[in-house]
Structure 1
Amino acid sequence: MHPYRIMLADDHIMLRSGIRKIIEDFKDMEVVGEVGDGLELLNMLKKVLTDMIILDISMPNLRGIEATREIKNTHPEIKILILSMHKSKEYLYQAISAGAEGYLLKDDSDKELFTAINTIRNNNIYLSPNLSRDLTHDFIETCRGGNKPSDDPLTAREKQVLKLIAEGNTCKNISNLLYISIRTAQHHRASILKKLNIKKMPELVKYAISKGYITSSE
């Protein structure tokens, strides 16, 4: 029987290195790849067989939430453990409703990583202890059912484009990153501005920060 194959997706090399060292202590697990952004992750999954992804919620080009949604559409069998510094229930809701099987706070990762992996391997939902004690079973069921109404009018593709625009990418760059035409990228940009009723770039960046697509420190 092959070891449990884990992919690491985080733009912080030191954090990936620390997680890799923890995983390598267990003979029935192996790290099969490391990537630094969401789009790179999607490309890597086309080449490498993977059982689980440990995925940072905040990454360049494609954040963890959108990456999770894409992966679950194309590789529903792959388990996903979201790694996050955010303790907000809103981020947790987004992660679980996107299809993630676990939500691990970075503050808990040293002592909880093995428990998180094994919980998910056994087909259960894992939440960091600092979160789970404040949540009810009904809240998790609501997340999994996707019953919470959303005030975000953008499509999944528009959310990808929004993040890339807010990070300073031109339509040409976006077309290269997403393998779409420049005209299509321009169309998405226009649609985003219209739906959000935003006319100036600083306003768009502020919106992206407020929704967690980028952080103010990026």
Structure 2
Amino acid sequence: MKKPVKGKLRLFIICSQLLAREGLILLTEQDEDLEVVGDAAEDEAGIAGVAELHPDVVIVADGWGGEECSCADIVKRLNGDHPHIPILVISPHIENARVQMALAAGATGYLPLGVDMDELVRVLYTVSRGELTLHPSMLPAILRHIEAEPGKPIATTPDDLTQRERDILSELSQGLTDREIAQRLFISVRTVQSHLAHIYEKLHVHSRTEAALFAVQHSLE
């Protein structure tokens, strides 16, 4: 995982539900390289806070207001005002339509509620580099999103992959973390990460999401 060479990754959290917001703050601050510089319960306060503090990533926790409450509006406003600041949505709702709305509004990443700490930290750093990142369980939504966006090249052949790389890619497409893949394949986490680096290079992709998308497109899942 690439971490900043200097300083911490500065986060701003927008979430209407107090316990969920405080939980996210406590969770992210477990990593010494992450810093929550501000938080807000209301959209307007969040927009003002982001404008004042200029965080590296904005986390929008969506869905606690019920099925009709969507983050798309605030994501669109934030993206319009600060297109250079990545936005990660965390939500209990993972329906395709909901994910697509967030992506269309300008979200850089979307995670289901309940991801573990390692996954959250990894995604925060990936999103901070502007790389589109979703949990593999949301692949149907990202397939539609990427197919609607010209200019997103995806490798067209899996022929250069070794059998072990195919195995890892298959596990990755099921939404497993590096640790879970290592346990399933009886190898070390470092070995998994080394294989993933080779997979990214061979497929000309830059994130787990793009690699998982490749697996689905080529029936490797």
TM-score of the alignment, normalized to the shorter chain, above 0.5: yes
Say if 2:63 and 2:93, in contact at 8 Å, map to a contact too: no
Within 5 Å, which residues of 2 pair with 1:1-218?
1-58=6-63, 63-108=70-115, 110=117, 112-132=119-139, 135=140, 138-142=143-147
What runs of 5+ residues in structure 1 fail to find an aligned partner? 146-218
Q: Distance in 1 between matches of 2:127 and 2:87?
A: 8
CA distance in 1, matches of 2:20, 2:101: 23
Change (3 A) 1:136 1:46: closer
Query: What amino acid is the match of 2:134?
Result: L
Instruction: Tell me the C-alpha RMSD between the 2 structures.
Output: 2.3
Mapped to 2, the partners of 1:136 and 1:58 lie a distance apart of 17
Deviation at 1:138, TM superposition (A): 4.0
Partner deviation per Cα, 1:51-79 (whole Å, 9 max, x = no partner): 1111022477x952111111111111111
Q: Quick one: which amino acid aligns to residue 10 of structure 2? A: R
CA distance in 2, matches of 1:65, 1:2: 30
Which amino acid is the alignment partner of residue 101 of structure 1? T
Judged with a 3 Å threshold, the aligned counterparts in structure 2 of structure 1 residues 63 and 139 are, in CA distance, closer, same or farther, namely closer
> 2-side partners of 1:64 and 1:137: how far apart?
17
Corresponding residue for residue 210 of structure 1: none
Q: Residue type of the partner of 1:139?
A: R
Shift of 1:109: 5.3
- How far the C-alpha of 1:7 sits from its partner, in A, is 0.4
Aligned residues: 142
Could you tell me which amino acid in structure 2 is paired with residue 45 of structure 1?
Answer: V
Tell me the secondary structure at the aligned position of residue 53 of structure 2.
coil
Q: Is the 8 A contact 1:65 1:98 kept in 2?
A: yes
Equivalent-residue separation in structure 1 for 2:45 and 2:126 (angstroms): 27
Cα 1:24–1:143 shift into 2, 3 Å:
farther
Letter in 1 for 2:97: E
Question: Equivalent residue for 2:173?
Answer: none
Question: Is the 1:96–1:144 contact (alpha carbons within 8 Å) kept by the matching residues of 2?
Answer: no
SS of corresponding position for 2:45: helix
